[in-house]
Amino acid sequence: MPLSPRAKKTWGILLPILLVLVLVWIARARFASESAIGIYLTKGGRSLLVIERGWLHTLRVSEGFFPSLVQLYGIWPEPGIRADVAKGHLQIHQREAYMLGVPPRPGKCFLNLRLAPSSETPGDWDLVSGRFSAHDSRLFNVTLPTRGLTGGWLDRLIGDFERFAVVFAERFRPQIQMEMSVGDPPAKSFLHRIDDPRLIPYFKSRQVGKLPEEIRNTFWEIFAEHPEDPYLAAHAIDVAAHSGDVEKGLDLERKWRFPLSQSPDLLLRKTAKDASKSLAKARGLPYGKDLREVLASLTDERANLSELMTRIQGILNYPFLLTSIWPVVEPVGDGLIELCKTPDFLQFQVDARLANAVAKLKLFEGKREESLELLGGLYRLGQMMTADGALIQRLIGIAIQNTDTEAMGLFVLNACETPEEFARCWEIRDRLHRVPGQETGESLLDGEWMVPVSLMKKTSGRGSSAYDIGEILTRFRVSEIHFQLVRSAAAAKAQSLLSREFPRSAEYFAPYLPGGPPKDAFSDGPLRFTDPSEEPYTIYSVGPDEKDDGGTIDYSPTNGTRSVGDIVIRIPREREFPFPEEDVRAKDADDLLRQFPNGLPIDVFAGFGKDTALSIVDSTGDSPLRIFSFGPVGDWESWTANLDTYEIPGLRRIDLRGTDRTKHPAIQKVYTPVEPTENAETWTLGPAYDPTNGFRSQGQIILEIPK
């Protein structure tokens, strides 16, 4: 139907007006987006982000992205990233594909960042808010061929559709969701602007671990043109270290140490620390040692048991806590996956138990100093792992500390007899107590996520239950209390040597604890202790239930992390395990048990439901008396596990506790070699455990007792 003359006239007026309005809107949007176009260093200078002009008024991210799940799942995603400017704020939107769960299923995650112009550094952008979410995408995991059109309107439309599908499918309940709200402190200069295109080849080269002479010279040219830029200064220290020019690196470090340490960008401070560690490594200083290298040495398949224990003992010699050194330039692709790969943490738990067992056996040999230093190195290893890395590494560190304090409590109460021995024991425990950089409980999740997700402290959705910070913090506090209980017990025992009485008030814990026992993490006051007239003397924490049971109900995490009971250490007047100063000598098992009427200390590799002592193999005409730990395979994985229903020829099981619940081990096993018969299998000792056969290989840790 043809238009009337009046309609033609109306449209003739409206169309130009609409066209002008659209052009004005595009011009304003284009003008607003001009402020964001540039080359940026991000993540404290570790990565590069290049924002260019896209179609019409849109922005296109041509270089850089923010991998978010590679550290958690180890799957490298293909990102889609775009940017736009709205109401004076730069907004970055990114989506990734990943594999989640076992068996793995496809998922999608979305990262949205909102940045404001920096009030301190012109051209920079501060991160003021953000949101990260991960979703199961089984309902919409169709791969469309237009995904590569990043920055275009079709790609934006697809991204918007996927976000809508996520919200609809998951009903606002993503598997993982984290937020950084406007009320949180902003990340200063999260995007630091340096419009120098020569940075692109520099970063591309370093992202794959290369620093050829041409790239190195290019960097020094860039730095010469920006000599006062703190981000480039951190890179300069690192480049000098990797180039072997230590003197130049030291000059730069002296000049920039204070300005970098005072930077408002917290991420830059971390980058600067890693640059300094890189320089220390180039100088051959212990400070430059990477914690990953230490952990790798403890998983070396070529190391025998003696070498492994020597390496753990040597960790005590570090006067500080080693950390994992993150490259100043963050790698990409397989390099980042390799960097984020976690070792087999089960092996570290096995190593800790090996050190526990070996340290106890050394006490039978009269090697108190070696036992003490081995336990000191083991605890320092736990401290390092607790203060660094992903959550799983920190939890393993806590477990290692608990394994150490069980053996260290045994040492304090049974292997210290003189003031000099208590002084030496205290010196090592105090060194562990005062080492800087320890975890305080506030940073347990810091290594779990990559930047910028690591800056988002709020969690919701189904993923939040996987990170019960309350339970994690309880585990950490329980571990710290065990350590402080051992320190307090050492101070009390040392005082009893001087006054023949355990402390009856806080001041009597002098000279080692003149202010009394340290604070109880589960109450407002210090650790508590019983009256010296009570037997045994007990120092205790009220435990996670925060109820004072007088040290009569023992807390056990097997009943739940926040179960009832007090965390206690009991100090009998007489040593439960009277280790002599020299090596133990016995002609047979009965002779040994006369010297140790309470049995032997607990074997951390045995148990099957009860605390089981180190086992004894009685002497025969041909074989000496031997003490052994079952080793990593443990007695529960052999046919000896069902001791309650199956009697082994030649085995005596001694119930050490009876009605006395204060005794530490419950079961003492004594094996007497017998001749095999046709109708019954017999138990035989050996072979000796050797980690070069595999860290969970067969074998026991055996000590021969001379006559």
Each residue's pLDDT tens digit, 351-365:
999 999 999 999 999
User: From CA 349, how far away is CA 402, in angstroms rounded?
Assistant: 11
Asked if 282 and 336 sit in the same domain, the reply is no
433: in domain: yes
DSSP conformation letters of 204-248 = HHHHTT---HHHHHHHHHHHHHSTT-HHHHHHHHHHHHHHT-HHH
Beta carbons within 10 angstroms of residue 515's beta carbon: 10
Q: Say whether pLDDT at 449 is over 50.
A: yes
- Which of 190, 206, 232 is the endpoint of a domain? 190
pLDDT of residue 100: 56
432: in domain: yes
Residues linked to residue 617 through DSSP beta bridges, in sequence order: 626, 671
pLDDT of residue 28: 55
4: in domain: no
Identify the CATH number of the domain in which residue 219 sits. 1.25.40
Asked if 322 and 394 sit in the same domain, the reply is yes
156: in domain: yes
Greatest mean pLDDT among 145-159, 267-281, 446-460 lies in: 267-281
Asked if 241 and 367 sit in the same domain, the reply is no
For the chain, the average pLDDT equals 84
Contacts for 678 with CB less than 8 Å, ≥ 6 apart: none
pLDDT of residue 26: 56
pLDDT of residue 668: 86
Q: What are phi and psi of 243, to 5 degrees?
A: -90, -10
400: in domain: yes
Asked if 249 and 306 sit in the same domain, the reply is no
Asked if 437 and 480 sit in the same domain, the reply is yes
pLDDT of residue 70: 52
pLDDT: is 34 or 450 the higher one?
450
661: in domain: yes
- Strand-strand pairing, 528-529 and 458-460: unpaired
617: in domain: yes
Domain with 275, as residue range(s), is 195-288
pLDDT of residue 172: 47
Q: What are phi and psi of 437, to 5 degrees?
A: 90, 10
User: C-alpha angle 111/114/116, rounded to 5°?
Assistant: 155
pLDDT band at 161 (very low <50, low <70, confident <90, very high): low
Asked if 264 and 306 sit in the same domain, the reply is no
pLDDT band at 413 (very low <50, low <70, confident <90, very high): very high
User: From CA 214, how far away is CA 205, in angstroms rounded?
Assistant: 10
pLDDT of residue 677: 61
Residue 5 DSSP code: H
Asked if 377 and 481 sit in the same domain, the reply is yes
> pTM (2 decimals)?
0.85
Asked if 489 and 367 sit in the same domain, the reply is yes
- Which of 270, 288, 306 is the endpoint of a domain? 288
Tell the residue number behind the tokens 């239950």, with chain if given.
465
For 653-686, letters b (16+ CB in 10 Å) and e give eeebbeeeeebbbbbbbbbbbeeeeeeeeebeee
- Which of 288, 305, 332 is the endpoint of a domain? 288
150-159, 278-287, 427-436, 695-704: range with lowest mean pLDDT: 150-159
Asked if 278 and 311 sit in the same domain, the reply is no
Asked if 533 and 593 sit in the same domain, the reply is no
Asked if 637 and 565 sit in the same domain, the reply is no
Domain count, the chain: 4
Q: Say whether pLDDT at 298 is over 90.
A: yes
User: From CA 568, how far away is CA 553, in angstroms rounded?
Assistant: 9
120: in domain: yes
Section 203-228 average pLDDT: 95
Nearest to 705 by CA among 589, 609, 599, 600: 589
Q: How far is CA 385 from the centre of its chain?
A: 5
Asked if 167 and 183 sit in the same domain, the reply is yes
Q: Which amino acid is at 536?
A: P
